[in-house]
Amino acid sequence: MTRVILKENRGRFLKPCPGTPKHVCCGYQIIDFARGCNLGCSYCILTSYFGRQDPAIFRNKEKLFEELSSFLEGEQDIVRLGTGEFTDSLLFDDESGLYPRLIPYISKRKNSVLEIKTKTTRIRTLLEIPEHENTIVSWSLNSSHIAEKEERGAPPVAQRIEAAREIQQAGYRVAFHFDPIVVHEGWEDGYKKTVDLLFEKVDPARIVYVSMGTLRFPPAMKRFIPRLAAGEFVQGADRKLRYFRPLRTRVYIRIKEYLKRGVDEDILYLCMESPYVWEDVFGISMTSEKLKERLDRACIKQFRRLRV
């Protein structure tokens, strides 16, 4: 069993998403409340960041709320905050005790949205928080084949979607991230089945947005994921290995077709992709500033308290 360490965060809790060079970034702010994950997904880039360190939860939360208060008071635009950059947002929910305070705090703000991103079904604490306006609970989804083979510590896709149905019934808004999409034998049918199950269980009208991102990883990770890295890859401008552009484009267009059966195209987006692939897939010239505006509009559509 993996140990979880409680420690002080001596740096900043709140920081902009670093993005990746020469690729389009959505412009959200990271709440760095914990680091590391023990779900054991084979492709997880956190392994590259943190190695074999035990996961850590930062206990000096007063500093976090001081930073949030200072930052949000000075912002006129919508601020999208996320807790799932350096860990799974709900994996250590019992140990962190963060959300009973953070979610109501964000609920009272008129310019802030909180996204809680997870692969787990640990929603009990969230269901007990009545004041949750402006909070999105989002799930990372994949084909069942990849979930079974490469995400072995996470619940099956069907259980994640069932948790999303339950959280949506409690009044939360939801989002979904098909990332990393992995090309494998039967991938088209595999991802179609996941999307079909999603729209069968979840109300599409209360989905804030859906992202897509294909498999990418630093070259040093290649030896740790030989099954996934067996195909042809090219090194991008951010030095990560990715599928060739024509393959990425084909994958995105196909999965976009599945998703458009349930949601409007204007709430779909590509995660950490080049402007060229945006042009290929959506036929639009996308920049980081325009993507932020796209997602801000999606949030305004869903949350009545937001003001700009």
In a domain, 41, yes or no: yes
Query: Residues of the chain whose pLDDT is less than 50?
Result: 1
Q: Hey, CA dihedral for 90, 44, 188, 283, is it positive or negative?
A: positive
Residue the block writes with tokens 């020469």:
22
In a domain, 58, yes or no: yes
Phi then psi dihedrals of residue 116, to 5 deg: -110, 105
In a domain, 308, yes or no: no
Per the structure, the count of domains in the chain is 1
CATH at residue 140: 3.80.30.30
Contact between residue 191 and residue 255 where contact means Cβ atoms under 8 Å apart: yes
Q: How far is CA 188 from the centre of its chain?
A: 22
Residue type, 224: F
175: containing domain: 5-302
Nearest in space to 242 (alpha carbons), one of 232, 254, 252, 255: 232
Q: What is the pLDDT of residue 1?
A: 47
DSSP 21-67: TTSB----EEE--EE---S--TT-THHHHHTTPPPEEE--HHHHHHH
In a domain, 307, yes or no: no
Q: What is the pLDDT of residue 48?
A: 65
In a domain, 113, yes or no: yes
Tokens linked to 102:
């953070």
